[in-house]
Amino acid sequence: MPAQNLPLCTAFVGHQRVVAGSYADVCEKLSHLGLATGSFLVFDDATGTQVDYPWPAGYAPEQPAQEDTDPEPPVSLSVGRPKLGVVAREVTLLPRHWQWLGQQRGGASAALRRLVDEARTDHASRDQIRQAKDASYRFMSAIGGDLPGFEAASRALFAGDAATFSSKIAQWPTDVQTYLAWLSRNAFPA
């Protein structure tokens, strides 16, 4: 797998960033630092979620979504078209929705795929903003919930007020500010 597709994480001791990189690199570097378990926090760089460390045996963080890059999808014995990457799952709709879907070209499945693709395209910017806000909030709640201006910064983050957000975190520790600024880089519309 190319390095740019590896899940990344960042570790903090208190409010100081001590190591960042792939999960394997961070694990190795943390083990060499000789820190007691529980004396640091590790965050997933894509989601801002705090992850438990040490990782359980065989733990592998969720890999980023890949679009049609796998030459051969895993073969399963489930319904659908596994060689095409089609996965069958239950969808519950009202009768009027099924009726409308049944009238669409290609049938219900094709219509649903088109609707999902259109929604992904139409809402990509809004989804990116929401994901950045969520990741930022997860991180700041875990590491900075007791920092001055936390509540005002949170309100500004979700209100989309970049200036107030920046001013409220301006007195926070530098490493926390820097990482939070990076996580929230897509949280505020241009």
Quickly count: other Cβ atoms within 10 Å of residue 136's Cβ.
26
Is there a contact between 25 and 113 (Cβ–Cβ < 8 Å)?
no
Q: By CB neighbour count within 10 A (0-12 exposed, 13-18 middle, 19+ buried), where does 46 fall? A: middle
Please state the separation of Cα 186 from the chain's center in Å: 12
Residue listed under structure tokens 């099924």: 98
Cβ-contact 133, 158 below 8 angstroms: yes
pLDDT band (50, 70, 90) for residue 137: very high
Per-domain boundaries in the chain: 3-51, 84-122, 125-183
With a cut of 90, say whether residue 84 has pLDDT above it. Answer: no
Q: What is the pTM of this model?
A: 0.71
**Over the stretch 44-71, which tens digit does the pLDDT of each residue have?**
999 999 998 776 666 666 655 545 444 4
- Which amino acid type is present at position 123? H
Q: What DSSP designation does 16 have?
A: E
Quick: pLDDT tens for 157-189. 999 999 999 999 999 999 999 999 999 999 998
The yes-or-no verdict on residue 81 having pLDDT over 90 is no
**DSSP bridge pairs for 12:** 17, 41
